[in-house]
Amino acid sequence: MKFLISLALGASVLAFGVVARGEIKIVADHNPNESASPAFKFKNVPTPSKNDAATNARFTILDGERDDNGGDLDKLHDGKLPSEEDEPAENFFSNAATEGGRLRVDLGKLIEIKQVNTYSWHPNTRGPQVYKLYAADGKAETFNAQPRKATELEKCGWKLIAKVDTRPKEGEGGGQYGVSISDSDGIIGKYRYLLFDMVRTENDDAFGNTFYSEIDVIGNDSDAGAGAGASEQAFIMHSADGYCEISIDTSAAPTLKDWAENGLAPVLAEWYPKIVAMLPSEAYTVPRQFEVMIRPGKGVAATGGARVTANSTWLQTELAGEAIGELVHEEVHVVQQYGNARRNSPIVTRSPGWLVEGIADYIHWFKYEPQSHGADLIWMRTRRNFSPRYDGSYRVTANFLNWVTEKYDQDLVKQLNAAMRQGKYHEDLWKEHTGHSLHELADEWKAGLEEQLAMPTEPKKQSS
């Protein structure tokens, strides 16, 4: 299927895309091999910028792989350009024989984007550019910050901005290309993230991936470079095993910055690999990146995809209490990713919400901070008219899981997790792994608890 707008290339061509909100304008310029120079001068496309909103942005490969013969992602926004037509180390390109990939640019905050400009240079088929540009503000409830290839972008908070294809109708199309995407309104939109869904230019041999030299994002402020500021916005660290990049954004809650960086961050870094080890499953790649956004809001916290949003107002009242543990709970959701199964196949069973939350609270209260007694008998005694239900969700289900695990099967949570991640949860699993049905287990657990709850607590010391 071919659905890309083909731009016939001469000296320069104007093409108009059809995307709502003004008209998206795609200008593509081509300097043929004989006239291309290291100056990257084009007739209509601006020359590459050294200081724009992409300069300090974070570039991430979401899907696909880099070719080690080329430069790393920094080459795309370091303002430096290749000095000759075939200089692999000064370009970024996807690995030979792969089908392009997905690249994300995180600008660090919402900015009004005026232009997105992309540049490439190669003497033959790796010169032209073929990609779709998407953008997101990251606010959609369904937002997925790291959608892989199979993920439909428009269903998870991304908007298609432009389809670019600068391949000529005939010939290899070698030379230098500049593409400038803008909007007739002056502003493409207010976005934080851009996503380049790149496609190779040909399939005749393994070397069809474009040599991208530079990507510029021009913001609306006159001082575009200052508009980026990704580094001053989010605090970035890695999980203890170095696997995952975790960022914490307190720009909307500056009073929590210290706590986030010195209290919360080390715990999330230490616990990510621990949680991953507690919830393994075959053929599953745990997110390599997630983000915690701390800002005033409602409720406590929520996780969608690999993005955690936490209410700073609530956290502020719990700094010495449940704040960190709550975010460990959300971190479990980042590792769980049970939604993937549903996205990838329509024939899956729904993971019960009480169990999803129960596992998160099980890890929070029985693994991370058992000493806080947040879900055991001590906590239950503080509840009025408490009646244990296995599907009571959160702490109550956590208690049930802990009890079944200790009494019947140490690996139960692992098994339930693996099944849910594949969209294969079924009530029979309990019987398979413990020899008892879910309801038998629930009845036994409940009876035991009620018996203990009915017993008088330690008699208070009488002073004499």
Q: In sequence order, what are the beta bridge partners of 190?
A: 112
Q: Give the contact letters, 91-110, x = binds to Zn ion (CB under 5 A), - = no.
A: --------------------
As measured in angstroms, the least distance from the Cβ of 329 to Zn ion is 6
Q: In this structure, what token pair is assigned to residue 372?
A: 């806080």
Q: In this structure, what token pair is assigned to residue 96?
A: 């030979």
Q: Residue 3: what are its φ and ψ, rounded to 5°?
A: -135, 15
Nearer to Zn ion, 193 or 394 (CB): 394
Q: In sequence order, what are the beta bridge partners of 133?
A: 162, 196
Contact (Cβ atoms closer than 8 angstroms) between residue 153 and residue 81: no
As measured in angstroms, the least distance from the Cβ of 136 to Zn ion is 23
The size of the interface with Zn ion (CB under 5 A), counted in residues, is 2
As measured in angstroms, the least distance from the Cβ of 360 to Zn ion is 5
Q: Give the contact letters, 340-379, x = binds to Zn ion (CB under 5 A), - = no.
A: -----------------x--x-------------------
How many other β-carbons are positioned within 10 Å of the β-carbon of residue 305? 22
Q: Residue 446: what are its φ and ψ, rounded to 5°?
A: -65, -45
Nearer to Zn ion, 38 or 392 (CB): 392
As measured in angstroms, the least distance from the Cβ of 243 to Zn ion is 23
As measured in angstroms, the least distance from the Cβ of 114 to Zn ion is 39
Q: In this structure, what token pair is assigned to residue 329?
A: 């709970």
Q: In sequence order, what are the beta bridge partners of 435?
A: none
As measured in angstroms, the least distance from the Cβ of 115 to Zn ion is 40
As measured in angstroms, the least distance from the Cβ of 338 to Zn ion is 12
Nearer to Zn ion, 197 or 357 (CB): 357
Nearer to Zn ion, 94 or 336 (CB): 336
- Residue type at 198 in one-letter notation: M
As measured in angstroms, the least distance from the Cβ of 393 to Zn ion is 9
Nearer to Zn ion, 81 or 355 (CB): 355
Interface positions, 194-223, toward Zn ion (CB under 5 A): none
Nearer to Zn ion, 207 or 354 (CB): 354
Nearer to Zn ion, 289 or 397 (CB): 397
Q: In this structure, what token pair is assigned to residue 130?
A: 């073929």
Q: How many C-alpha atoms does 307 have within 13 Å on its Cβ side?
A: 18
Contact (Cβ atoms closer than 8 angstroms) between residue 66 and residue 200: no
Nearer to Zn ion, 213 or 397 (CB): 397
10 Å CB burial of residue 273 (0-12, 13-18, 19+) is middle
Output Rg (C-alpha) for the chain, integer angstroms: 27
Nearer to Zn ion, 360 or 375 (CB): 360
User: Helices 438-454 and 394-407, interaxial angle, to 10°?
Assistant: 100
Nearer to Zn ion, 264 or 360 (CB): 360
As measured in angstroms, the least distance from the Cβ of 52 to Zn ion is 39
As measured in angstroms, the least distance from the Cβ of 300 to Zn ion is 9
Nearer to Zn ion, 131 or 368 (CB): 368
Cα–Cα distance, 357 to 281 (Å, whole number): 18
As measured in angstroms, the least distance from the Cβ of 328 to Zn ion is 11
Binding site for Zn ion (CB under 5 A): 357, 360
